[in-house]
Chains A and B, each alone.
Chain A
């Protein structure tokens, strides 16, 4: 994250963190996902303190692709 911030500052671009759970992760069940999810607001809060954007997607690969596509269209 520190490297990303340094790069962002150098290039004059915003830094955005992207998080999406991997569904059907080997041996993971609902209680694991629930525990993981309980920590997400902390990530969001920590990032916002550093002026870093935070985007949450539903499924890793497809959500990341559509997020990148949308961002590319906008810029």
Chain B
């Protein structure tokens, strides 16, 4: 079997939804999920997982967009997919193109800067070293599961990426330090690392880029907070942790 065929089959397996091939070259999910399931889907394989293929140019966004438009799926599901593929993706590319500080905390907005200045002296109740984060040795089972998924598979569930980065801010001595560590881990372990989407995602999570100020709280200032409890309400953390546990056992 040619290697190309092999990766196509592998991509199809990752999708775990019926798929069809377009021009015998492209794998696209044929059954797009509704918005309420699409983004915050709990399962390991709840999203398209096309980001590494997009990152390396194995597939172009236009090809995917055409396939999505031609798919027999609810209009709302298609719109949700296209919003991520076009609006969000272009916003990230734009961010990296025009902001020279895209991979540093200094890309932050004035409101976040002022807010962090008020909280730089806040006491951090837990601080982890680089190795503890890398080895997924925190007290938080959901965070550890996300970190393991990234290290073992080269991909982390999109919903977990937000939670993952925000917790690094919570567990670091400074904003700058948390930013450096999130970029380091993301670029090293994600197959779609070193991509504008990763930089924009981390900027959103840690310094509130493309977001608005929220309520004042320790360490985070006015940057939006995500707690384990609130994440558990929107995301089936229990199932996710169990799935990553299975994945980990399969790798041992």
Contacts and interface: CB of A to CB of B under 8 A. Distances in A.
A28 interface: yes
A40 B52 CA distance: 14
Contacts of B4: 38-42, 45
B7 A28 contact: no
B58 A42 contact: yes
B3 A31 contact: no
Interface stretch (B104-112, B188-196, B210-218): B188-196
A39 B58 contact: yes
A28 to B, nearest CB: 7
Nearest to B2: A41
Contacts, number: 38
Contacts of B58: 38-39, 42
A38 B6 contact: yes
A27 interface: yes
A41 B3 contact: yes
Interface string A19-49: 0000000111101100111111110011000
A38 B191 contact: no
B193 A39 contact: no
Contacts of B187: 27
B193 A35 contact: no
A36 B191 CA distance: 10
A39 B56 contact: yes
B100 interface: no
Contact of B188 (A29, A39, A41): A29
Nearest to A27: B187
Nearest to B56: A36
Interface in B173-201: 187-188, 191, 193-194
B52 A35 contact: yes
B193 A38 contact: no
Given A39-B4, A41-B4, A26 B194 contact: yes
6 contacts: A35-B52, A37-B3, A39-B58, A41-B2, A42-B58, A46-B25
Interface of B: 2-4, 6-7, 25, 52-53, 56-58, 154, 187-188, 191, 193-194
